[in-house]
Each structure stands twice: as C-alpha cells, then as structure tokens.
C-alpha cells in the first residue's frame, strides 16, 4: 500500500519520476469494448502541458502518450491499459544545487526523512509532472462516462491570489491561459502574473470543478462516500490545501432552513449539497472547489538547513510558474472523472445497473466561486 | 468495495443501523501486545454520546462498548478486535412518518435510488450514530500511538453559525458542551442555541482538529498522501462539506515568500503547511479544519416529494440537535487518529521503522480558527 | 492486511476466537433486495456443527446465528450484514495444560513466534471453529447465486485415510456422517474410525467439491484467475495441504491429445479442465478436490518443546475428531460459493452483465475421486 | 479488481499482451535502499526465456528488461519500479487462423464469452509470455529477501509425463534444459520429448519449488495464510491444475502419529507440514509442488466450434513446446518469492520486526517428488 494506485475497480497505477526515462500509468479494470486511441487522450494532456503560455513553466515537453497494451484494433479488450510518456527535456543540471538542501514548502525534507534518500532531479516523484498520467487516465474515464451516461467535466479558476474572478460563462475558459470563465479579467490577471514574476514571488489560486450528467446513486455509505473520495482525490493533487463540496465552508454560517435542498416534481430546487447527499450522488451536478498554495520555488531567498542540519539559504534559479494553480484545472477535472468512473463500476457490481435521474434535475445557481 | 472498511493495514470494518439490534466494528491489524480493555474505549464514546447537554439530541443511549475478540488476558493478540455497542433506545415510532418521503438534506432520496429500498428507522445506515464505532476504533489507535510515539489528538469548535470562537486555551475544551477553547463565549453560544431551538432552525459549525507528537515520514507519495487520506477521513464524517489542511483556503491569497515554512536548527519556523509536505508528515503538528452543515432535520417545514414523485411537505417532530457540529470534535479526532495509525503501520512495512523528529520542531502559532 | 477479510467485492470479515464470547463475520457488498433471515443460514451451520455423530468432536454448541445488521423487513438493504454466533460451551479448562507447550502439527509455535503471545484456549484464533462464520457467509452467497443463476454447490468425501470411497450418487451424501456419496461403504468407514479412536490416532481425508449452473466468464486473467482464487480459498481451510482443479495432479501424465476438452454444438465433450480455462469459467461444472491432513491432536504422546525451549511430551486428553476432514465438506462448499459470488460481482462491475452458457454444456464424467 | 495486481504491500501490477508493443510490470512498495540494476533481473529472465533448447518454443526474444523508474544512482528510492520488456518477435501471422475458432484447452472461448471480444495474437493476455514480468518482479523480491534474511529459492522438475525424476542433487538443475535434479535421466527425457514432438503431442509435468532461510512468523491467520497465498500464486501460473504444500495429497493416507512434525531443542524433526503451521511459517524450508497440464497447442487435430457455434477442427502449426512445464521452474520460484516478500512486509507492519529462527531447524528429508 505505497499509494501509487488510485481507485478500487478502475485502478490506475502511476509510475515515474520527473527526470527519469519515462512516466506513465497502468489502468486495470477498464470495461471492454470502448473505442480508444492516443487521439482520445492527447488533447487532455495538451491542456495540462507546460510551455503553452509565458505564465507557466517553460519546460518544453511534448508529453506524447503511447498506449502499450489493452487495446486491440482500436477497442479496449478489458485487460490493463499501459500509458507511457517519455521524458524528453530532462535538463537535470538545473537542479544540481538542491541535492543537499531542503527547499521550504517542498517535499525534499520529508522524502529524505521517510526513505533515507531521495531523487533530487526536478523533485523526482514529488514533481507535479506526475499529474500527466492522471490526466491521461482521466481521459479514458471521461470517454467511457460520456458514452455511457453523457457525463461531462469542466472547471475554471475562480480566484488568483487576491483577485476574485467572477463567473461569466464556460465558453471563456478555453480562450485564456488561466482557465478563467471571464473574458474581461484576463488583462488584469496577466499584469498581476507579470509583476509577480518580476518580484520573484508567487501566489495561490482557487479552482472550481464540476461534473454534469451524473448518474444517481454513485458512492458508498460510510467511508467511501462519493464526497469523501472526491476530497481524497483533489487533496492529493500537488499543492492543494483545501477542498469544498457544494457550498463548502459557506455552510458554517448557513441555517438549516436555507441549506437543505428542496425537491419537487422538477427535481431539486437548489444545489447547496453539491450533488451529494449521504455520500451518494443525487443526479445533480457535482460541484467542488480547491485551494492551491503559492508555488514554493521562488527566486526570493528563504532560510533552510542542509542534510547535516546546518543553516543555509535556498534560492531557485530554474524555470518555475509563479502560480502552480494555473495548470490545475484539467488535473482536477481528471481526478473527479476517475472518482466517478470508479464509483460507477462499484455501483453496478453491487446494484447491477446504473440509474439515470428520473426527473429532470433543476439547474443549480451559476457558480459564484 | 462497499465502503464499510476504513484503512489499509489498521482496517476498521463498521456495521449496523441506527435502530437495528446493535452497531459495532471489527478492527483487523492491531499490533499484538497492547494492553486494552473497555475502560480504554468507553471514555471516548462518552465524549461523543448524545444526551449529555440540552444542546444535543436527547436520545438516551449508554453506548456501552463490549470487546468480543482479539484480546486475551487484557492484551491484544494481533487478531481482529470486534467492538459491539447494543442499541437500547430505538423508539422507531418517531420515524414512522418519514418512510414514504424524502427529507431535504438527508440521504433518504439517494439511498432509495441507489438500493431500491431503504431502512427508514432513524436514518438507518446514514445515521450519525454510526460514528460511535469509529470513535471506539479511534480510541484503540490513540492508545497505541500515544504509547509508541507520544502522539496526542485534540480538537475544538472554532465557529458556531456566524459566531467565531477565538482560541484561548485547550484547557477550556472539556469544560463546556461545545468543545469551545474559550471560557468567555459559552453564555453567548448557549443563548444562540436556545434561540435556534425555539425557532425550529439549525446552523453549521467549524471544527479544528490537531495531532501533536507526530512521527516524521508518515504518508505515501502520489495518491495516498497523508493530507489526502485526512481529507477522505474527515469529509466522510456525516454533514462535513469542507476540509482544510494547515492554512487551507487562506493559501489562495498568500504569497510564496510568506507561505513556505522556513527551517532552522530549531525546526520549522512556522506551520502554514499544517504538518504535511509532499503528502508526508514533517513532524510538526498536523492541523486540519472542517465545515459542518446545519442539521437537516428541523421543525420548519420544507418542500419535498414522496416515493411516487408527488409533492409533499416534510417537518421533523423528533428529537434533534440544532447543530450536529457540537458532537463532531471527538469524531474528527478519532478519524485523524485512524489515519495516522494506518500510515504508521504502512510506513514501517516499507521503511522498517518509524522516525521521530530529530530536531525540536518549533511550536506553531496558536490556532486562529 | 491481516488477512481476516475474504473477497474483494463480497467482502467477509471474520472475527473471534474458539473460547471468546462470540465469533462471527461482517459481509460487506451483498446486493440489496435478497430475502434473508437466520433460517436461510442456520441449516448450513447445522451441517458443519460438532456433536452430530460419534465421529466428530463432542463439543456441544448450538451455533445459533443472529443477523445484527443489513436486513430490514426480511430483505438485504445493501449495507453490511453482521452475523453473530455466541460461544456457549467454552470449557477452557480442557486446554489449560497446553499453555506452555507447542503441540506438534498445531499453530501454537507459529502464533507464539509471530505475535510474542497467544490465546491458548481451544486454539484461539487457529481453531477450526472459525470456519462457522465462513459457512454462514457462504449460505448468503449460495442463496443469491441460486436465485440469480441457478448455481448450486455440493461435495463429498472421496477418500478416508487409505479407504477410497467410490462415487455412487449424490443422494447418499446427506445420509451418513461422512458426506460419502456411497451407501455401501459406511459400515467400513465407521469401523475404521472406531479403531482409530481406540488407538488414539487420526487420519487424513480427500474431499471433492463442485459448483453446477455456473455462469460463463467469471474470473480475472493473470493473478485473480478463478482457479487461483479457488486454490486460495480451499488451501486456507484449516488442515488442507493440497488443492486440485479438474483432473488435478492427474494431468502430469496426461497427453495433450487427451487433456484438452473438445467443443461441439452441444457444449464441451469432457471436463478435464474442471470448468476453468485461462482462469475464467467455461460454464461447465467447477470441480475441485482437497487433501486434509490427519488431526494433529491425538492421544498418542509426541515430542515437543516448551516456551523456554526445553524438551517435553504432548498428549491430548480433550475431545477431538480422529478425522477433521469429516466436517470439511460443507466448509469447502461455502468457500467455493464465496469465490463464485465475489467473481460474479467483479464480472458485472467490469463487463456489465453476467453470461449464462449459450449452448448446453455436456455433463462431465461421474467423479472418480 | 481486474486481477492484474499481485500482493498487498509489495504490489506488482502486470500489463501487456503477447504480441503488443511491450509487456512489463510496476512494483509498488519496494523498500528503499536496495541496490538494483537490470543486471540483477536479467539472469532470471534468461532462465525462463524461450529458444534456449530444442525442447521449448523457438520464439526468439531477447526479453531485455529496462528499469523505467524507482531507482536513482543504482538504489531503489521507495517509489514504484516500472520494468519494461519490449516484444521484438511478434510474427502474428502464425496466429491468424485462430481468430475465429476456439482452441481446445485454451482461453479463447472464455475470453470471448467474458469480454465479447479478444486479442487473438499469440493468445493475447492469456499467453504464458506474461509470466516474464513476474519473473522480473520476483528477481527484485529475491534480492531483498536474500540480503535481509538469507532466503533462497530453488526448484526442479520431479516428473515429466509418466517419467518420475528422482532427486539426486540441486547442482544438476542448472545443467540441463529440464531443471531436473538428476544427471542420469537427461537422455531419457530428451528422447521422450523428441518422440512427443514427432507425434505432434504433449505431456504434463510436476515441479517442486522450495524456499530456504525463511523467517518465522510470516503469514496471516484465517484467510491470508501463507500456504493459501502460495496456492493462489502457484495455481495462477498458466496451465497449473494442482498445488501441494509439504506432503500434499500424501497426507490423506497418513496417520496423526506420523504426520505432526515433532520439535526438539534442535528444531523440527521432520517437515511434513512443508514449513507452514496454522498458515504461518515455522522457519523450516517452504516446500510446494505443482501439476502442469500438457500443452494445449498440439499438431494433432481436435474438434471445436467457431464463434458462430459451427463445428470445426483445430490444428496448430506454429512453434510450441511439447511440455509447457519445462520452463515453469523459474516462474514458480518467482511466484513463491513474491508471496514471501509480501508477507515479510505485512509481518513487519503489524509486528514491527521479522523473526529469524531461534533454534537451528533440522534439515528435512531430501525431496522425493
């Protein structure tokens, strides 16, 4: 149980390090009969890929995915699907100076204490680069869920540092490097990022992610509640420090008269619950938000110690994003898809079929961030 | 994988319904040689128990725990420990009127859609009563962690509805029914609760929970990060809608220059991370917060539908807490203990021993809620 | 992973010791909607129960099972089913003399070395008494499989010590204490057992177990092959030292021209494979055999050591069976049922439905032992 | 749970098909700090490799293994180790004629019924080629167990068809293509195989496999007994139809006075148990035997049906071994190593350390087959 496998029935086992020969994953449990090729997966990887704007790391990786197994004549066979992504831009010289010191905010200290050694090249296993195979596996899950139930996933940035990004429309998300659902704010966000980069500093971000067209009845009571598994999936993304379902921390000050979503013949009248009641999906949209901490690698010097325990100072000179949250949206969508995929299979194992909503479920309020 | 088992190596399998003959759990994987009797477990159950103040449900249950297996002559043998709690106050007549309708905010609708049937007596399996065996299992984990590493768990309410409860000192927590770490606020909280009860309404709460004396190196990279598993554990508690680690959603507006905790010979200078870096414990205190929604069962009527899809109105007449968050503190502590226990065993499986912090870890700021 | 849970999707977690207050199990993952009461389970427990003839242990236990959860108004709800069997005849004084010595052939030495301590009362956790909850869980699986697919389970003893028991007909099995499918051999078997008991000795046995009406397609390629899981399930029964599928060890001397079962429009022409090809069920009868070692507790003295390592001699004076294999048939049937149940759920998780054989599958040869 | 992962703590996830681009596995849970390179793994793969004598398939594959992750500067880091073996000799034309028919004794029929489709190239996923990554993972486990405890693994063929191969000495095993522990029998075995090949027929084999230097206390009571997991591991090898531990089916006719292994200050006086009591290792040698069925692909025609259910005849013209058992010895050793490795980690998770035998354990009888 060393934690490199996600899911119980749609099991994704991730391997690789930032600067090793390759990264990838093995998906065991994909249903047979799904049409699948690299062309179904590559576009999602491209959404997550570095080097696509001046606001994200300039590491130049094509992140080209290859399917090594589990597909015959363009169709999944029910056997494990291995996805392989070769690391082509390794430039490990950038990281040579950090071998002996612990960068504040990074996993250097904890890996070294846990294992007694660590792979320092680009953060090794703790690099956000390892989210690429998750996005790849997520693309497989998304395709199956879309074809079976019409489930779709989408997300947007709702706050960057102290700038809130009001929701205007999903159509804007693909038109800017921030995954912002707002066309008018982009200039302000770009100036903010440029100033941060100049100052050698970084900020956090808030991301909202949703699933629509969700079957009713997914999730297991008690421990493997759908929302508990979503929290596990999203908190496990690098740099995430908070997860909310539905109204999230807003529920603390809500009243019961206001919170409980009423039902009518037309479905639910509101979606404070975020699509989950008692750990089981209601058929409404699943809504979750995450908080992402500021990038830990910054140009400004910070105090630290070396492996011998002596004081030192850490500065980062390599290429880094002033906000790791910028590329988090497709990752969060992928993780949400993996959770729903796994629970769809778990549900049909025990209950034999998957339930679509009987009544139309009323649309929820527009997202407010 | 129907989700009634928590943990990989310290596995707790929970069973029972609110109004069945008994509830309980089976703990598989407890190390042998731990002195254990009911007297080690009962006090934690008593902290969670209903009926202890006028602000919580008046259901009168002794919640007396019995150990059915796994202990011989007062010592754990390494074989499964079954904890049994008989249900003595079942009064299922209170719930008869809800058999055919779906209470807004409750799991009635989703259970019925998932399984095609449901046990309506007191919420059946979805009742918060099922947290009692978790608290029991948590007491076993707490005892082992305390004896091995000196790890301790504590928690407090930091907000009730819209009333923030400033932290004054841990010594206050056991002196009031709210688990508030503040002596001067109690009168205000009591008045607030009394007004809510009179109004037939309810509110949410915010709870902070911590572990101290935590070994370094617990947590698995990638998916089973320590913070991901904490999020899973805490979001799985009934009514929880948000989880934060360390600064939580506060990190969104933080700068990198401010967030990353610096290290010195004396340990970490701050604890924005909440005791986890790269998914692995740093040896600092683990700090997490949760948001609990307002009680869904309220006296005020809400619109709903019945099983045939016809409109109806739901009112609750039975005994209910105006804030389910009041009893959540010992539950959250127990879940945090189960996570650390499991990861302590996982760590020593792979790495062979458990590391205590080498340098003294500087105390963190007092909790601000 | 302390090994007290059987199955991945129909998960049975077993607890208890031979002379503790109770034994039992929690079944998680049972499909909802199955009519179930104690009356469905008790008859299988009665088949396994001690004290039913002079050839088995005289321990007098009613083994009365109680359902503590997971059933509402006589129907399974999809939540965990806890089965509890109280220990009523504990007579632990019988076992007092073995606390300090290691009985040859028993688990005394290995438990003590593994855990550093052990519960000596009646073998504690290593007692064959712990097969009772397995038989109980098996009864639930059998009922569901029968109702869904018409699957049935049966078994018989095919050899007792050096006496082969030729197969005559299944109708004989319930008519004698040996589960022998042969009416004419009973006298010889009884004399043989009486002589053994007089001599203070014991013998082994060979048991054959079958499933009929098996869906096609159960079993997972590579590791969780259906036959691999059957081997795991049957070898895990106390005292089993060998497992065969189909022709078993007979295949060593077979030729390829003879072994591979030919197919025609009418199904398979033979069943050398025992109903499994490539780890997946063919729709033919599943056929397996097990070898059970002679009872280790015998009146004849054997050399051993005590906990200090000093030589000693062990004799057993308590009640014991001269052949533990006599009661093994219902246990082996139950374990086979648990394997098929689990794989039926696993199959429908991935493939969405369960396949019944399309062509009639030709009957296999009568069992030869 | 689609069954492509072996083990609970030393988890090996296998992927690939016989004629896809590559096969391999991901090992999660390997302890950090083990010196490891391809040179530690390749020799074991070479022992299993086809094309090494005229008695095994002439498929010409170098089976060159590459380590893609989990090793830094020649040492394992504690993160997943991906082993990749490219398929270089795919010649899928050989198998074109079997796309539409079900070869008797093969997995063709069951895969097609389970998944609704299948990869026919070389047996796809059901090919014995997929044992190569198991042997690779086994080499990693063997190295760690050897360095930690001095555990070693060895095996030999003890019967080929109806020719018993008396044990003479382990030194002979590496000197002949049969893994026979007997120098004088080789000529007879070669003639026997040549005659079979000429006749277009095949035979089964019996293999014995052992572990020496085994720690005491490995194995979990109840379900995950060490012998149950060995049975699962060995029965899961392609073509295996029977598994024995210690005296195996020989125990049926044994008496209790004879079977139970006596203990003295010098250890156990015999090893009928095969090194396992109550599911837990005794510190003696682990001894197991397996029965392997005759190769199903033979030149002689056999009756079958096609996918439309029409009668047909199947003949095999490609390269095939007249006895698949010939290459099974290193595979069985590897699977036994994976079981012990996993249980060594499981043991130290719960019990904190691993016990070596305190007293010298008397050597067992020489293997008799």
Q: How confident is the model at residue C364 (pLDDT cuts 50, 70, 90)?
A: very low
8 A C-beta contact, residue D80 and residue A133: no
CB contact under 8 A, D5 and A28: yes
Neighbouring C-beta atoms of residue C60, cutoff 10 Å: 12
Q: How confident is the model at residue A123 (pLDDT cuts 50, 70, 90)?
A: confident
Contacts of B195 (CB under 8 A, 6+ apart): none
Q: Which two tokens stand for residue C137?
A: 């869980």
User: What mean pLDDT is reported for chain A?
Assistant: 91
What does the pLDDT look like over C186-244, one tens digit per residue?
Answer: 999 999 999 999 999 999 999 999 999 999 999 999 999 999 999 999 999 999 999 99
d(CA D331, CA D339): 13
Quote the minimal CA–CA distance from C183 to chain A in Å.
Answer: 42
- Statement: residue C255 has pLDDT above 70: yes
Q: How confident is the model at residue C308 (pLDDT cuts 50, 70, 90)?
A: confident
Buried b / exposed e along A101-139 (16+ C-beta atoms within 10 A): bbbbbbbbbbbbbbbbbbbbbbbbbbbbbbbbbbbbbbb
Q: How confident is the model at residue A135 (pLDDT cuts 50, 70, 90)?
A: very high
Q: How confident is the model at residue D365 (pLDDT cuts 50, 70, 90)?
A: very low
Q: What is the pLDDT of residue D355?
A: 73
- Statement: residue B301 has pLDDT above 50: yes
Q: What is the pLDDT of residue A364?
A: 42
Tell me the domain boundaries of chain A.
5-351
Suggest the residue from B352, B353, B354, B355 to mutate for an interface test with chain D (most D CBs closer than 10 A). B352
Quote the minimal CA–CA distance from A282 to chain B in Å.
Answer: 6
Report, as an integer, the average pLDDT of B214-222: 95
Nearest to D76 by CA among D10, D175, D165, D6: D10
Name which residue leads in pLDDT, D364 or C334.
C334
Instruction: List the single residue in A13, A70, A116 with the smallest CB-CB distance to D33.
Output: A116
Structure-token match 């594959």, residue found: D61
Q: How confident is the model at residue B233 (pLDDT cuts 50, 70, 90)?
A: very high
Q: What is the pLDDT of residue D363?
A: 44
d(CA C140, CA B353): 42
Q: What is the pLDDT of residue B369?
A: 38
Nearest to A298 by CA among C102, C136, B258, D16: B258
8 A C-beta contact, residue D271 and residue D284: yes
Instruction: List the single residue in A1, A350, A352 with the smallest CB-CB distance to C29.
Output: A350
Name which residue leads in pLDDT, B279 or A61.
B279
Chains meeting A at 3+ CB pairs closer than 8 A?
B, C, D
- Statement: residue B48 has pLDDT above 90: no
CATH number for the segment(s) A5-351: 3.60.150.10
Q: Which two tokens stand for residue B222?
A: 């990638």
Instruction: List the single residue in C114, C162, C254 with the smallest CB-CB distance to D280.
Output: C114
Share of chain B above pLDDT 90, in %: 78
Q: How confident is the model at residue D369 (pLDDT cuts 50, 70, 90)?
A: very low
H helices, E strands: number in chain C: 7, 18
What does the pLDDT look like over D212-232, one tens digit per residue?
Answer: 999 999 999 999 999 999 999
Cα-Cα-Cα-Cα dihedral sign, residues A176, A179, A181, A186: negative
Q: Which segments within B75-140 are labelled E, that is strand?
A: 75-76, 81-86
Buried b / exposed e along D325-360 (16+ C-beta atoms within 10 A): bbbbbbbbbbbbbbbbbbbbbbbbbbbbebbebeee
- Which of A159-163, A324-328, C65-69, D117-121 shows the lowest per-residue confidence on average (mean pLDDT)? D117-121
- Which of B34-43, C117-126, D148-157 shows the lowest per-residue confidence on average (mean pLDDT)? C117-126
Q: What is the pLDDT of residue C121?
A: 82
Suggest the residue from C69, C140, C350 to mutate for an interface test with chain A (most A CBs closer than 10 A). C350
Q: What is the pLDDT of residue D91?
A: 57
List chain B residues with CB under 8 Å of A159.
252-253
Contacts of D67 (CB under 8 A, 6+ apart): D36, D37, D38, D41, D81, D82, D83
Q: Binding site for FMN: residue ranges of A?
A: 125-127, 238-239, 278, 293-297, 319
**DSSP at A229:** H
- Statement: residue A361 has pLDDT above 80: no
- Statement: residue B363 has pLDDT above 50: no
CB contact under 8 A, C32 and A346: no
Q: Which segments within D269-368 are labelled E, that is strand?
A: 276-277, 280-281, 286-292, 302-305, 311-314
Q: How far is CA D18 from CA C71, C265, D88, D110, D122, in A?
A: 47, 30, 10, 17, 6
d(CA A361, CA C7): 37
Angle, CA of A354, A360 and A365, to the nearest 5°: 110
The SS3 of residue C229 is helix
Suggest the residue from D81, D219, D350, D355 to mutate for an interface test with chain B (most B CBs closer than 10 A). D350
8 A C-beta contact, residue C324 and residue C292: yes
Buried b / exposed e along B243-270 (16+ C-beta atoms within 10 A): bbbbbbbbbbbbbbbebbbbbeeebbeb
d(CA D19, CA D87): 7
- Which of A110-119, B84-93, B278-287 shows the lowest per-residue confidence on average (mean pLDDT)? B84-93
Q: Binding site: residue ranges of A?
A: 48, 54, 125-127, 238-239, 278, 293-297, 319
CB contact under 8 A, C251 and D257: no
- Which of B309-318, C175-184, C191-200 shows the lowest per-residue confidence on average (mean pLDDT)? B309-318
- Statement: residue B75 has pLDDT above 60: yes
List chain A residues with CB under 8 Å of C79.
221
DSSP B242-292: EEEETTGGGGGG-BHHHHSPPEETTEES--TT-SEETTEE-SSPEEEEEEE
CB contact under 8 A, D304 and C262: yes
Q: What is the pLDDT of residue A318?
A: 65
d(CA C147, CA C33): 11
What does the pLDDT look like over A299-345, one tens digit per residue?
Answer: 889 999 988 889 999 987 766 778 999 999 999 999 999 999 999 99
- Statement: residue D237 has pLDDT above 60: yes
What does the pLDDT look like over A262-282, one tens digit per residue?
Answer: 999 889 999 999 999 999 999
Which region holds residue B339: left if phi is over 0, alpha if psi is between -120 and 50, else beta?
A: alpha
Instruction: List the single residue in B3, B16, B66 with the smallest CB-CB distance to C68.
Output: B16
Q: How confident is the model at residue B364 (pLDDT cuts 50, 70, 90)?
A: very low
8 A C-beta contact, residue B157 and residue B207: yes
CB contact under 8 A, B349 and D345: yes
- Statement: residue D265 has pLDDT above 70: yes
Quote the minimal CA–CA distance from A68 to chain B in Å.
Answer: 22
Structure-token match 């389910």, residue found: B324
CB contact under 8 A, A21 and D125: no
Report, as an integer, the average pLDDT of A112-139: 92
d(CA B155, CA B288): 9
Suggest the residue from D1, D2, D32 to mutate for an interface test with chain A (most A CBs closer than 10 A). D2
For residue D37, say whether it is annotated as part of any ligand binding site: no
List chain C residues with CB under 8 Å of A348.
348-349, 352
Burial of B141 (0-12, 13-18, 19+ CB in 10 A): buried
Contacts of D143 (CB under 8 A, 6+ apart): D34, D36, D40
What does the pLDDT look like over D122-134, one tens digit per residue?
Answer: 789 999 999 999 9
User: What mean pLDDT is reported for chain D?
Assistant: 91
What does the pLDDT look like over B341-351, one tens digit per residue?
Answer: 999 999 999 99
Partners of C26 in beta bridges: C13, C82
d(CA D308, CA B320): 64
List chain D residues with CB under 8 Å of B221.
79
- Which of B38-52, B81-95, B170-184 shows the lowest per-residue confidence on average (mean pLDDT)? B81-95
Q: Which two tokens stand for residue A82?
A: 């291995």
Nearest residue in C to D206, CA atom: C252
Q: What is the pLDDT of residue A299?
A: 86
CB contact under 8 A, D348 and B351: no
Report, as an integer, the average pLDDT of C273-300: 95
Report, as an integer, the average pLDDT of D306-319: 84
Q: Which two tokens stand for residue C264?
A: 């025609």
d(CA C287, CA A346): 29
Query: If interface means Cβ-Cβ distance under 8 Å, which residues of chain D face chain B?
Result: 1, 9, 29-32, 78-79, 221, 345-346, 348-352
Quote the minimal CA–CA distance from C229 to chain A in Å.
Answer: 17
- Statement: residue B117 has pLDDT above 80: yes
Instruction: List the single residue in B1, B31, B350 with the smallest CB-CB distance to D345.
Output: B350
Share of chain A above pLDDT 70, in %: 91
What does the pLDDT look like over C285-297, one tens digit per residue?
Answer: 999 999 999 999 8
Kindly indicate whether the ipTM for this predicted assembly is greater than 0.90, answering yes or no: yes
The SS3 of residue B85 is strand
Report, as an integer, the average pLDDT of C336-359: 89
Q: Which contiguous run of DSSP H or E holds residue A26?
A: strand A22-28
Instruction: List the single residue in B24, B77, B114 with the smallest CB-CB distance to C118.
Output: B77
Instruction: List the single residue in B202, B235, B351 with the smallest CB-CB distance to A115.
Output: B351
List chain C residues with CB under 8 Å of B118.
72, 77
Report, as an integer, the average pLDDT of D80-100: 77
Nearest residue in C to D227, CA atom: C235
């Amino acid at each position: 149980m060393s934690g490199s496998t996600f899911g119980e029935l749609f099991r994704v086992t991730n391997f690789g390090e930032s600067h090793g020969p390759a990264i990838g994953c093995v998906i065991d449990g994909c249903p047979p009969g799904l049409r699948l090729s690299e062309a179904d997966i590559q576009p999602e990887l491209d959404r997550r890929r570095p080097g696509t704007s001046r606001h994200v790391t300039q590491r130049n990786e094509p992140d080209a995915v290859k399917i090594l197994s589990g597909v015959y004549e363009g169709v999944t066979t029910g056997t494990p699907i291995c996805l392989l992504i070769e690391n082509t831009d390794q430039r490990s010289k950038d990281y040579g100076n950090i071998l002996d010191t612990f960068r504040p905010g990074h996993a250097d200290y904890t890996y070294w204490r846990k294992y007694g050694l660590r792979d320092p090249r680009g953060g090794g296993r703790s690099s956000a680069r390892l989210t690429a195979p998750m996005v790849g596996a997520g693309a497989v899950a998304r395709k199956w869920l879309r074809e079976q139930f019409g489930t779709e996933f989408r997300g947007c940035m709702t706050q960057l540092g102290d700038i809130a990004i009001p929701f205007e429309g999903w159509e804007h998300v693909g038109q800017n490097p921030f995954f912002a659902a707002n066309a008018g704010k982009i200039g302000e966000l770009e100036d903010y990022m440029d100033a941060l980069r100049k100052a050698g500093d970084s900020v956090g971000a808030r991301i909202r992610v949703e699933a629509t067209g969700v079957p009713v009845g997914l999730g297991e009571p008690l421990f493997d509640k759908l929302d508990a598994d979503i929290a596990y999936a999203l908190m496990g993304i690098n740099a995430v420090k908070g997860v909310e379902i539905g109204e999230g921390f807003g529920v603390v000050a809500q009243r019961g008269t206001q919170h409980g979503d009423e039902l009518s013949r037309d479905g639910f009248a509101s979606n404070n619950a975020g699509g989950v009641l008692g750990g089981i999906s209601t058929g409404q949209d699943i809504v979750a938000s995450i908080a992402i901490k500021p990038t830990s690698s910054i140009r400004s010097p910070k105090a630290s110690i070396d492996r011998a325990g002596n004081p030192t100072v850490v500065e980062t000179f390599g290429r880094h994003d002033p906000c790791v949250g910028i590329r988090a949206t497709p990752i969060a969508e992928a993780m949400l898809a993996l959770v729903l995929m796994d629970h769809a299979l778990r549900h049909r194992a025990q209950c034999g079929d998957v339930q679509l909503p009987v009544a139309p479920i009323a649309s929820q309020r527009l997202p407010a961030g």
